[in-house]
Structure 1
Amino acid sequence: MKYVQLGKSGLIVSRLAFGAMTFGSGKIPSVYKVSQDQAKELVGQALEAGINFFDTADAYADGQSEEILGRLLGPHRKEVIIATKAGNRVGSGLIETGLSRKHLFSACDASLARLNTDYIDLYIVHKADPFTPLEETLEALNDLVRLGKVRYIGYSNRPAWMAAQALQMQRERGWATFINGQMYYSLVGRDIEHDTVPFMKNNNVGLTVWSPLAGGFLSGKYTRDNLNDPNNRLSGFDFLPHDKEWGFTILDTIRDIARDHDVIPAQVSLAWLLEQAHVDSVLVGSSKPSQLENNLAAVELKLTSEEIRVLEQLTRPQPLYPNWFTTMTLDSQVIEAFK
């Protein structure tokens, strides 16, 4: 396993992190499907491979994911980094959701109890909350750090301008700052390169990636013929928007590269992400030991510069305004035309 400093913090994390979203059972059976015994095998496998970074959330399988992960990591607590998230709905009550001070304090205490620990290494706000003043959320997070319940804080699924607004307020008030942004990023979902990645690089905010295989689409097990099979995961939980036909064109190239290295497509997709200098850690979730073994092998896969170039060219997102204008006006010929 390889390790990296998370953002500007002193936290050292494995390049691959273990995502425990699949632990437990519940209303999304295509996702929540890993029992306690199965989870024990997977966590043991991850630890043996050198993974020290484990991710979950209070909303995953109604808290079962945290409970299972907490039991399994208990004997290894001093050796591992546990990240969990808050903000999504966790009950039927009107205010059992969001990023209010009330909910964050109660959610944190509930997560600590389920994880069977007295501190959370990385506490992440799961999404933006349009109903709670930003100042209230950030002050509550700072207080959780000062109380010792949380060591570091991060955010997820937040646009760059909103993250910048929060970071500025944290710095001005002398509050604990976000060290990490956990964002969706894959070969069929490179939107964060427009603004989020430049913001993170400029502010030394570490990037961790969720759903690096686009919900399993880039694993290579799906084809144009079996995509709509009611038994596969995507038929029961397909919420990441991308053009599937375009995606299969990308998969054709990924499969060619995989054959050249005698690996599987999932490893190529993960290896591309690990080659990105702005990526600190990539979350891999598995429901079977064989899946985890294949994902772990991506750390050792070295793509050629030509293979990276081909993948970059094939999947590069369409430039947005004003980004394309800024880039265009850096060209010497264009500069001359504007004189």
Structure 2
Amino acid sequence: MEYRQLGNSGLKVPALSLGAGTFGGQGPLFGAWGDTDAQQARRLLDIALDAGITMFDSADVYSDGASEEVLGEAVKGRRDQVLLSTKAGLPMGEGPHEAGTSRARLIKVVDDALRRLGTDYLDLFQLHAYDASTPVEEVLATLDQLVRAGKIRYTGVSNFSGWQVMKSLATAEKYGYPRYAAHQVYYSLVGRDYEGELMPLGLDQGVGAIVWSPLGWGRLTGKIRRGTPPPAQSRLHGSAIFGPPVPDELLYRVVDALDEVAEETGRTVPQVALNWLLQRPTVSSVIIGARNEEQLRQNIGALGWTLTPEQIATLDVASAKDAAYPYFAYQRQQGFVRLNPSPVPLTSPLV
């Protein structure tokens, strides 16, 4: 296993992490992902740890806390071998105090996560979404308090825009609060919007990317091709509305390129898609998910080898699409390109 620095922090994380979204699956969204119980989760952790995967990611909103509970059961007796990462901030109910990242709520959700996970500290705690109703100073001061109390070791965010991350980092710098080390982001061969603003920001500010849904919400499993409906167990059935949209033609073009590279390398389509991500700037860890042991072992096979520059270029071209304003200027206009060189190769147009 390759271990990477998480942004500019002192924390080293494995290149692949295991997501616990399938653990304790309940409801229309997470029930479609999987319903792994504690015994099954412990077996998955056995396999992951044998491969050097030491970081496990969850969130309070995953099956209304059941994911954290199952993960906590699975790590019993080996807490010192693992990094526990979780998230909070999204609504957990309809009440006025059941959403957001106010001081009162942050203190409560961290204590709730510690209880469910059966631990007294979180290696990484991330805000699951930006809360426009709470001052950034209040959020960061509370996180600083939780870090000083020993309940959190590193902080991060998820699904923030560029200005939201930058405002937070500037405020942390001003008051001496802990800076966010991680940004958990959606990034895949069928969703490269991360490259437009958030990747350059991560490079400039030392924020490491932890990638969620690296297979494009189940689209890059190798089972979806032109004229072929998603398999019966695909998360695209029923829960597709929760995931990022992908134009059909883009998907088929990317899958065609993945098939080509998979044949050249003797690897599977998901392994090629994951390996491509592992070569991208700022990526500290890619979160893989698995309903069963076979899927986990397949995903682990993305490690230990590297795509050639030619194969990366094939995937870059197939997955490229025009960026939104103002980033298309940085792709297409020589003056802008000269002043703002792309953090990814020129064969790889931004989003």
The TM-score bracket by the shorter chain reads over 0.9
Are the equivalent residues in 2 in contact too, given 1:32–1:61 (CA < 8 A)? no
Aligned match of 2:122:
120
Alignment of 1:40-189 (within 5 A): 40-189=42-191
Give the Cα–Cα distance (whole angstroms) in 2 for the partners of residues 231 and 155 of structure 1: 30
Aligned equivalents of 2:252 and 2:94: distance in 1? Answer: 39
**Cα deviation digits, residues 268-319 of structure 1 (max 9, x gap):** 0000001113211100010111111010010123211101011112212313
- Which residue is 1:34 aligned to? 36
Aligned to 1:2: 2
3-state SS, counterpart of residue 58 of structure 1: coil
* Aligned equivalent of 1:293: 297
Contact 2:25 2:32 in 1 (8 A): no
- In the TM superposition, residue 52 of structure 1 has moved relative to its aligned partner by 1.0
Q: Offset at 1:261?
A: 1.5
In 2: Cα distance, 1:275 partner to 1:228 partner: 28
- CA distance in 2: counterparts of 1:231 and 1:295, whole angstroms: 17
C-alpha distance in 2 between matches for 1:269 and 1:23 = 24
| Alignment-mate amino acid for residue 93 of structure 1 | G
2:346 alignment partner in structure 1: none
Asked if 1 retains the 8 angstrom alpha-carbon contact of 2:91 and 2:99, the reply is yes
Q: TM-score, normalised by structure 2?
A: 0.91
- Asked whether 1:194 is paired with 2:200, we answer no
Q: Distance in 1 between matches of 2:189 and 2:329?
A: 24
CA shift at 1:92, angstroms? 4.0
Q: Deviations over 1:22-58 (max 9, x none)?
A: 1003112212421222212111110111111110001
Instruction: Give a deviation string over 1:144-176, Cα, whole Å, max 9, x none.
Output: 111111011000000111100100000100111
Q: Would the alpha carbon gap of residues 98 and 330 (structure 1) be closer, same or farther in structure 2, given more than 3 Å must change?
A: closer
Q: What is residue 284 of structure 2 aligned with on the other side?
A: 280
Displacement of 1:231 = 4.6
**TM superposition shift of 1:247:** 0.3
Q: Which moved more, 1:281-290 or 1:299-308?
A: 299-308
Match of 1:336 in 2: none
| Number of the residue aligned with 2:15 | 15
The one of 259, 265, 272 aligned to 2:263: 259
Instruction: State how far apart, in whole Å, the 2-side matches of 1:223 and 1:320 are.
Output: 27
Please tell me whether the aligned partners of residues 191 and 317 of structure 1 are also in contact (alpha carbons under 8 angstroms): no
Identity %: 39
2:275 is equivalent to residue 246 of structure 1: no
> Counterpart of 1:217 in structure 2: which amino acid?
R
Pair 3,310 (structure 1): closer, same or farther in 2 beyond 3 Å: same
Task: Give the partner amino acid of 2:217.
Answer: G
Between the aligned partners of 2:317 and 2:2, the Cα distance in structure 1 is 27
More displaced 10-residue stretch of structure 1: 167-176 or 128-137: 128-137
In structure 1, list runs of 5 or more residues that go unmatched: 333-339
Match of 2:320 in 1: 316
Establish whether residue 303 from structure 1 lines up as the match of residue 307 from structure 2. yes
Which residue identity lines up with residue 299 of structure 1 in the other structure?
A: L
Retained in 1: the 8 A contact 2:5–2:284? Answer: yes
The Cα of 1:72 is off from its aligned counterpart by 1.3
Q: Give the AA of the match of 1:58.
A: D
Q: Is the 8 A contact 1:267 1:295 kept in 2?
A: yes
Query: Is the 2:223–2:230 Cα contact (8 Å) retained in structure 1?
Result: no
Q: Aligned letter for 2:271?
A: Q
* Residue 132 of structure 1: how far off its partner (Å): 1.6
**Paired AA for residue 312 in structure 1:** D
Q: 2 CA distance for matches of 1:146 and 1:331?
A: 43
Q: Kindly tell me: are residues 138 and 227 of structure 1, through their superposed partners in 2, closer, same or farther at Cα, counting changes over 3 Å?
A: farther
State the aligned residue count. Answer: 332
- Cα deviation for residue 264 of structure 1 reads 1.0
**In the superposition, relative to structure 1, how do residues 32 and 104 fare at CA in structure 2: closer, same or farther (>3 Å)?**
farther
- Cα root mean square deviation, aligned: 1.6
1:24 corresponding residue in structure 2: 24
Long gaps (5+) in structure 2:
339-351
Checking the alignment, whether the CA contact within 8 Å between 2:258 and 2:273 is kept in structure 1 is yes
